[in-house]
Amino acid sequence: MNKTAIVLIILIIIFIIFCLMCSNKTTESFTPYLRQIYKPYIRSCKNYTNNSLENFKTKSYNFLKKKKLI
């Protein structure tokens, strides 16, 4: 393997470790064990997509308003 591939693999490993360290470690005691594992990740994905959609809608509305199409 060449040096760039090794550096890329090391960066990916560091990124995965960083993501695992920053992830939400709290468990939800009111749900079954399997849900305790995947529920926070699903919630954070839903929050991210909702925020992204709202951001896109706001920017597109402002753009159309500036161009006097609305």
Q: Where are the domains of the chain?
A: 3-66
Return the structure tokens found at 46: 């839903």
pLDDT in tens, 22-52: 665 665 566 677 777 777 888 888 888 988 9
Average pLDDT over residues 49-67: 91
Residue 28: per-residue pLDDT: 58
Q: Which DSSP string do the residues of 8-31 spell out, in sequence order? A: HHHHHHHHHHHHHHHS-----TTS
52 in Cβ contact with 60 (< 8 Å): no
Q: What residues contact residue 28 under an 8 Å CB cut-off, 6+ apart?
A: 35, 36, 39, 40
Q: Phi then psi for 31, rounded to 5 degrees? A: -120, 160
